Amino acid sequence: MTKHNKNIDELARSMRQYIADPVPFVQNVLKAQPDKWQIECLRAIANHPRVAVRSGHGVGKTALESWAILWFMFTRPFPKVPCTAPTQQQLLDILWPEISKWLKRSELLDGLFDWQKTKVQNRIHPERWFATARTASKPENMAGFHEEHLLFVIDEASGVMDPIYETIEGALTTKDAKLLLCGNPTQNIGTFKRAFHEDRDLYYTIKVNCMDTDRVASAYCQRLIRQYGMDSDVVRVRVLGEFPKSEPDGLIPLELVEAAMMRDLDIDYNSMLHVGADIARFGDDETIFVPRIAGKTLGLFHYTKQDTTTTAGKLLNITKNFMRDYHKPYATIRIDDDGVGGGVTDMLRETIREQRLNIDVIACHNGGSPIDKEHYANWATEQWCNLKQRLLDEDIEIPNDDELSAQLSTRKYSIDRRGRIILEDKKTYKKRIRRSPDRADALILAFAKVRNNIDPNIAALLGGAKLYGN
């Protein structure tokens, strides 16, 4: 027997050894020690065609997915492993680097497979033996996969829409076709939710509580429980791995927030730059800046314990930098002008006049009069309701931030004696949650619909427009 044939026989024996049980593959080949729930899940994938995992935040789902992908590629001839998630960032910045990390840990696997930005492929048969990353933006991204050995891996599965799953269903026809769904249970609708309820007979299901694993710091769980309550949707989804129940007096359901955080919108280069700014000073509250162009937010900047002069300088520099980077000849800054925000407003306007910048500073007042006085009790309520409508319309993308998610989804509302919606005031919210909704308020400001007497220079650029807020 030649050395080449001997190596092939050894590889074949190694592959056969792990076909029925991925756990020793993870332990021996990848040199990892899976948690109890990961062991259960790995063996479920080997023995069941469909597996669904719902969990809290940070329990090790991405590692589990990476192990399953590499196990399937090692133990099957000519497999295909399509991987998808709602956003490119989830796939290319989180899952794909995780696969690379485990691939490099194994000299055997590193010699067999070539890792690329959107693909992991067999070095000898790259056209037929591979895993590929494709975002769940349209059904056709998941079309065309037909093979005897097929594993679909769906990350952040709650955010993947039903038409994507319908396309995948069409490929699950062979004996060794498998489907793995993993995610936080953020939405009460869709295929992922049905996997644990109406369609449970089709799936092997697993629920992972953050408090049952050492991978999640106990302080993280206790902080969310202390701030938002054990029965809140924030704790249910982020800690307990439960689907949200959506409190009847909560204004914005968590599932709308989470869906917007998983959305991946393109930049609309024809739209203006707007920056929302919620100002704090030396207390425990945060100063927050949120820039956005059309429906896409460009980040969330947070600071604490800074004087108003420093805050004004940072806000102006951030705005100018985004104007430069996105080639915007003008911008608006919307500031909560009540309290310390008024000082920042004055300083910004003075500096902008001195530097002759095409930036309009708009002073906003949460307790001010709404545009629609019939339905909303004050300006803040109207703007929160406007944001909720945009979340329902699915035309905005917001930063994936735990605090922002919690603040948006825990603000309550009531109906006043005139039948108008009125948002829970900030003082009551802070007493109940023991934290100020600074991040949510800055986002609301960024998307606020406001009327203003525009600086003549900017009006000329805008063709005389009077309304900001698109």
Angle 258-415-234 from CA coordinates, rounded to 5° = 25
Residues in the chain: 470
Using pLDDT thresholds of 50, 70 and 90, give the confidence band for residue 4: very low
* Torsion sign, CA atoms 156, 158, 163, 168: positive
Task: Give the residue-averaged pLDDT of 431-456.
Answer: 83
Q: Where are the beta strands (DSSP E) in 6-148?
A: 50-55, 80-84, 113-115, 119-122, 130-133
Q: Output Rg (C-alpha) for the chain, integer angstroms.
A: 26
Task: Give the residue-averaged pLDDT of 423-444.
Answer: 91
Contacts of 22 (CB under 8 A, 6+ apart): 42, 43, 45, 46, 67, 68, 71, 75
Tens-digit pLDDT profile for residues 354-403: 999 999 999 999 888 998 888 899 999 999 999 999 999 999 999 999 89
First to last CA, the chain: 72
CA distance readout (Å), 414 to 55, 249, 373, 443, 464: 32, 7, 16, 22, 38
Task: Give the residue-averaged pLDDT of 161-181.
Answer: 94
CATH topology of domain 3-212: Rossmann fold (3.40.50)
Checking if the pLDDT of 71 tops 50, the result is yes
Using pLDDT thresholds of 50, 70 and 90, give the confidence band for residue 188: confident
Q: What is the pLDDT of residue 1?
A: 42
Count other C-beta atoms under 10 Å from residue 139's C-beta.
16
Checking if the pLDDT of 333 tops 70, the result is yes
Task: Give the residue-averaged pLDDT of 68-95.
Answer: 94
Count other C-beta atoms under 10 Å from residue 354's C-beta.
8
Q: Write the CATH number of the domain with boundaries 257-468.
A: 3.30.420.240
DSSP class of residue 376 equals B
Contacts of 314 (CB under 8 A, 6+ apart): 289, 301, 303, 306
Checking if the pLDDT of 464 tops 50, the result is no
Q: Tell me if domain 3-212 and domain 257-468 are identical in fold.
A: no
Q: Rounded to an integer, what distance in angstroms lies between the CA atom of residue 365 and that of residue 18?
A: 64
Task: Give the residue-averaged pLDDT of 205-218.
Answer: 91
Contacts of 396 (CB under 8 A, 6+ apart): 260, 263, 265, 295, 296, 297, 387, 390, 447
In the chain, where the domains are located: 3-212, 218-246, 257-468
Using pLDDT thresholds of 50, 70 and 90, give the confidence band for residue 435: confident
Q: What is the pTM of this model?
A: 0.73
Count other C-beta atoms under 10 Å from residue 317's C-beta.
10
Q: What is the pLDDT of residue 468?
A: 43
